[in-house]
Amino acid sequence: MRYKITIEYDGTNILGWQRQLDGPSVQEYLENALAALTPATETKDKDLSTGSAPQVPVITRLTPEVQGAGRTDAGVHALAQVAHFDLERKIEAWKLREALNFHLREQNAPVVVLEAEPAADDFNARFSAKGRGYVYRILNRRTPPVLQKDRVWWVPVPLNVEAMRQGTKYLLGHHDFTSFRAAACQAKSPLKTLDKLEISVSGDEIVFTVEARSFLHHQVRNMVGTLKLVGDGHLRPQDVKTILEAKDRKAAGPTAPACGLYLSKVVY
């Protein structure tokens, strides 16, 4: 039985979505929780030296692999990440959600399953997705954050929001985004179509809402880092067009910190 889950997580102290050897990941937390729901199999392999069965049976579990819609980096949060996995047994969706959350709490995981539902056999959290949305948050005030620490990019200098909005118009549509692509990006092509890039203000917070079918590695953070330079006066809005056309990562601004980025939705 294939299941689809929607997940929320705090990426502050985890190494991103994908399982890592040197620290916790969202995938590891979820697969550990699923292991507790997976029936154990008892094996009695013969001892090669004597040909006899071992005194203590070997108990193994075939833990399902959890595949996510996107591989968020270390420090990046999610409001609605989506994943799928297959189970040998059928479980009511609400019971599955509650069971997973129970075993996530046992691990003190900063991860919660918001929804669980049966999925078609051919559903794939990554390849079935028709679009993805991200939110990036900047706290633009002189004093540093306390309650929002590790949840926003703190920028103490005033930012010109209208100038940044003018800069966004050069990024919308279908372009070669090489200038905003991480060196380690594994995408086959730098060509992407940016469907939405809007900037809103709520008190001291500046929020970027970004949507596309898919993104290059660090694309959103590199675009925000460049637009921040427009906001503080180091670049003009029209410089964004020049940077895009340069097709050179060195031409763009810095990569914005991971702490301000949230995977906000996946569209199917």
- Which is more confidently placed, 13 or 63? 13
66-105 pLDDT, tens digit per residue, is 999 999 999 999 999 999 999 988 899 999 999 999 999 9
Q: What's the pLDDT score for residue 263?
A: 98
The DSSP line for 2-54 is EEEEEEEE--TTS--SS--SSS--HHHHHHHHHHTTSPPEEE-PPPTTT-SPP
> How many Cα atoms occupy the beta-carbon half-sphere of 235 within 13 Å?
25
Sign of CA dihedral 152, 153, 156, 161: negative
Q: CA–CA separation, 197 vs 145, rounded Å?
A: 25
191-201 pLDDT, tens digit per residue, is 999 999 999 99
Q: CA–CA separation, 224 vs 229, rounded Å?
A: 9
Q: CA–CA separation, 15 vs 75, rounded Å?
A: 7
C-beta of residue 192 within 8 angstroms of C-beta of residue 212: yes
**Residue 157 neighbours by CB under 8 Å, 6+ apart:** 232
Q: What's the pLDDT score for residue 52?
A: 59
Letter string b/e over residues 106-126, b meaning 16 or more CB atoms within 10 A of that residue's CB = eeebbbebeebeebeeeeebe
Please report the domains of the chain, with CATH numbers, ordered by start residue. 2-118 (3.30.70.580), 131-267 (3.30.70.660)
149-193 pLDDT, tens digit per residue, is 999 999 999 999 999 999 999 999 999 999 999 998 989 999 999
Give 37's pLDDT tier (boundaries 50, 70, 90): confident
Active site includes 73? Answer: yes
Sign of CA dihedral 89, 94, 98, 104: positive
Give 50's pLDDT tier (boundaries 50, 70, 90): low
Residue 47 has pLDDT above 80, yes or no: no
Average pLDDT of the residues of the chain:
93
Structure tokens at 128: 């079935």
Give 14's pLDDT tier (boundaries 50, 70, 90): very high
Q: What's the pLDDT score for residue 44?
A: 58
The DSSP symbol for 157 reads S
Structure tokens at 93: 């969706």
Q: What's the pLDDT score for residue 63?
A: 77
User: Alpha carbon 32 to chain centroid distance?
Assistant: 19
Residue 42 has pLDDT above 70, yes or no: no
Residue 54 has pLDDT above 90, yes or no: no
Out of 45, 47, 73, 176, pick the active-site residue.
73
CB atoms within 10 A of CB 254: 12
Q: What's the pLDDT score for residue 241?
A: 98
The arithmetic mean of pLDDT across residues 199-225, rounded, is 97
Q: What's the pLDDT score for residue 38?
A: 80
Q: What's the pLDDT score for residue 61?
A: 58
Give 57's pLDDT tier (boundaries 50, 70, 90): low
C-beta of residue 245 within 8 angstroms of C-beta of residue 164: no
- Which is more confidently placed, 226 or 46? 226
The residues that bridge with 58 in the sheet, in sequence order, are 43
